């Protein structure tokens, strides 16, 4: 077999040229494309990894925020319940205080009404007693309206302190109110008895006072001595008003 070295050389040259052409215009662009695609793939993977990490971070943040929101909600709910409890207690206390105030005002009003009723009853009783006493005394002789009260008046004067008795009549006439006008004899008897008691002359300045019903009232400078039906009726009316 004969080898044609020229042909072999040309074929070798052609092969080398073909390899160079393939390496220059095929392998390098393909390698560059592959490298670019690998770079793009790596970039996409990096972006995906970054996106995943960002998503995980966002999910962790969301989870944290959710937990914080739940904590705040629970805290607000607990505070609202506590505030509601305090408000309810305050309202109950206010209601109790208002109820107690209303009860106190009602008791005070009832007491006032009872007191007013007692006073009214006492007034009516006093008026009725005065009317009855006036009617009864009106049926008695006029002498009874004065004579029956002289002893009591002189006795009451005798029970006054000595300093008070000393002042009676010392500066002039003594004022005397009587249920009716005194006769001359009645004036003389009363002035004489007072003079004997006080140890000096006593002059009476007499004023007729039918409202006394029956009896006498001596008005000295430092004392008033009452011995008449009106004083008795007033005392009875006061006792009725103060009676429980």
Q: Which residue has the higher pLDDT, 140 or 45?
A: 45
State the CATH number of the domain containing residue 201: 3.30.2320
Whether 122 is in a domain gets the answer no
User: How would residue 3 be classed by pLDDT, with cut points 50, 70 and 90?
Assistant: low
pLDDT one-digit tens code per residue, 10-19? 788 888 887 8
117 found inside a domain: no
- CA end-to-end span of the chain: 164
Q: State the average pLDDT over residues 188-209.
A: 93
Tell me, yes or no, whether 75 lies in a domain. Answer: no
Q: Taking 60 as the threshold, does the pLDDT of residue 234 lie above it?
A: yes
What is the per-residue pLDDT for 136?
64
The pLDDT of residue 138 is 60
Q: Which domain, by its residues, includes 230?
A: 141-242
pLDDT tens per residue, range 124-146:
766 676 667 666 666 667 787 89
Residue 86 lies in a domain: no
Considering only residues 218 and 118, tell me which one the structure prediction assigns the higher pLDDT: 218
Give pLDDT, residue 149: 93
In a domain, 187, yes or no: yes
User: Which of 26-40, 105-119, 184-198 holds the top average pLDDT?
Assistant: 184-198
pLDDT at 244 over 60: no
Specify the pLDDT at position 153: 94
User: Per the domain annotation, does 44 fall within a domain?
Assistant: no
In a domain, 34, yes or no: no
**Would you say residue 72 lies in a domain?**
no
Separation of alpha carbons 175 and 184, rounded Å: 16
Over residues 169-195, the mean pLDDT reads: 92
Average pLDDT of the segment spanning 46-75: 82
Q: What are the CA-CA distances from residue 63 to residues 34, 66, 133 (Å)?
A: 42, 5, 102
Query: Does the pLDDT of residue 22 top 90, yes or no?
Result: no
CB 118 within 8 A of CB 237: no
- Give me the pLDDT at residue 130, please: 60
Contact indicator for 207, 178 with CB cutoff of 8 Å: yes
> What total number of domains does the chain contain?
1
Q: What is the mean pLDDT of the chain?
A: 82
Q: Assess contact for 238 and 175: CB atoms under 8 A.
A: no
- Token readout for 44 is 């996409």
Q: Got the DSSP string for 165-227? A: HHHTTTTSPEEEEESSPPPHHHHHHHHHHHHHHHTS---EEEEE-GGG-SEEEEE-SS-EEEE
pTM above 0.85, yes or no: no
């Amino acid at each position: 077999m004969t080898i044609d070295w020229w042909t072999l050389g040309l074929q070798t040259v052609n092969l080398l040229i073909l390899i160079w052409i393939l390496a220059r215009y095929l392998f390098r662009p393909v390698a560059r494309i592959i490298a670019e695609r690998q770079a793009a793939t790596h970039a996409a993977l990096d972006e995906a990894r970054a996106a995943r990490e960002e998503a995980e971070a966002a999910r962790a943040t969301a989870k944290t925020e959710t937990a914080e929101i739940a904590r705040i909600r629970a805290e607000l709910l607990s505070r609202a319940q506590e505030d509601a409890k305090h408000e309810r207690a305050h309202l109950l206390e206010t209601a109790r205080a208002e109820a107690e105030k209303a009860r106190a005002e009602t008791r005070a009003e009832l007491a006032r009404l009872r007191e007013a009723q007692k006073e009214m009853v006492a007034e009516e009783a006093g008026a009725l007693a005065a009317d009855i006493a006036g009617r009864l005394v009106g049926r008695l002789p006029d002498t009874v309206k004065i004579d029956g009260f002289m002893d009591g008046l002189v006795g009451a004067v005798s029970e006054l302190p000595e300093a008070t008795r000393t002042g009676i009549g010392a500066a002039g006439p003594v004022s005397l109110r009587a249920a009716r006008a005194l006769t001359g004899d009645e004036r003389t008897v009363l002035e004489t008895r007072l003079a004997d008691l006080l140890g000096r002359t006593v002059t009476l300045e007499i004023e007729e006072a039918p409202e006394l019903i029956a009896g006498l009232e001596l008005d000295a400078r430092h004392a008033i001595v009452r011995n008449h039906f009106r004083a008795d009726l007033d005392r009875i009316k006061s006792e009725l008003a103060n009676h429980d």
